[in-house]
Amino acid sequence: MVTTVKKETERPIFPFTAIIGQEEMKLALILNVIDPRIGGVMIMGDRGTGKSTTIRAVADLLPEIKVVEGDPFNSSPEDFELMSESVKSSVMRGEQVPIAYKKVPMIDLPLGATEDRVCGTIDIEKALTEGVKAFEPGLLAKANRGILYVDEVNLLDDHLVDILLDSAASGWNTVEREGISIKHPARFVLVGSGNPEEGELRPQLLDRFGMHAEIRTVRDPELRVQVVEQRSNFDQDPQACLKENEEKQQALKDKIVAAQKLVPTVSIDYDLRVKISQVCGELDVDGLRGDIVTNRAAKAYAAYNERTSVTIDDIEAVITLCLRHRLRKDPLESMDSGDKVQRVFEEIFR
């Protein structure tokens, strides 16, 4: 039996296609939604530049996902990698699991969250007295197959950031207490945002975000007026604004879904892969994450543009987003990190 999870009465979400400017941030979010293995995105920029609005808008844009009804982990009824242990056992026994459809989860992680709130807790007393693994799911369970958003991630405790990044990279969350261990799928797009004036993330943590988008306050007066008018119109009559953008929203949704299906078939020539690694080497990027993420992002961008082969233009569109935060900071270097990536790209690819 298939059911649709009832939607709670919510305030309307500002449509993604109505957001003016901030192209870097929008592109990074779209590519991570197409291929979550890119590793999430860190968005750094001024206050009041629409970071939270854009992230909520991209989650609202996505099509509903098929889940096992009543499962706290948003388990897929078909993909073993996205199933909880209990659902997997039921499927392997050939049992029929109830199916439902629900919106892609968008989970906010508050700054004051504890490790138990994030990872979940095990009721040790119940486990010892009744012999059952009593597990209270945390935010990572709720975020499975969705988006986990951490505003002001640069102010979050480093230990929690480590946990989030480990789960995002592995796709699993493991909770261990007093010799009892429980694990569940936790595959989500990790999105962090912050204001650089309030402090930077440690380089080793920043490096583990797949992409890094920088956004700035719009300075052009006419564009600022457009942004203000668009927001005012939405606040006055949300339904009219949603109706006006309905076709664009559907077209973008269809494009993202098509790209998600196409991305596994996209290839990138050996010569281009060598040049990507050459750029990373020239920029003295530590480790291989930069190479891997740039390859994945280029493939996602090609799929987004309905192609199965990566071009130099695809790489150029994503390489700055993938590498700018991995560069070592030289206090004597006057060139912006993004400009430096572009300069080296031009030298090697053109």
CB atoms within 10 A of CB 3: 11
CB 45 within 8 A of CB 195: yes
Catalytic-residue membership of 177: no
Start-end of H helices in the chain: 23-34, 51-61, 85-92, 115-119, 124-130, 139-143, 158-170, 203-206, 221-236, 238-244, 246-262, 270-282, 289-304, 312-323, 337-349
If residue 150 lies in a helix (H) or strand (E), which one and from where to where?
A: strand 147-151
Side-chain half-sphere exposure of 17, counting CA atoms within 13 A: 16
CA distances from 93 to 88, 261, 301 (A): 9, 29, 40
CB 40 within 8 A of CB 310: no
φ, ψ (nearest 5 deg) of residue 127: -65, -40
CB 344 within 8 A of CB 279: yes
Please give the span between the terminal C-alpha atoms of the chain, in angstroms, as a whole number. Answer: 56
3-class SS at 52? Answer: helix
> Choosing from 289, 296, 324, 326, which is the catalytic residue?
289
- The per-residue DSSP string of 273-288 comes to HHHHHHHHHHTT--SS
φ, ψ (nearest 5 deg) of residue 219: -100, -25
Report, as residue numbers or ranges, the catalytic residues: 289
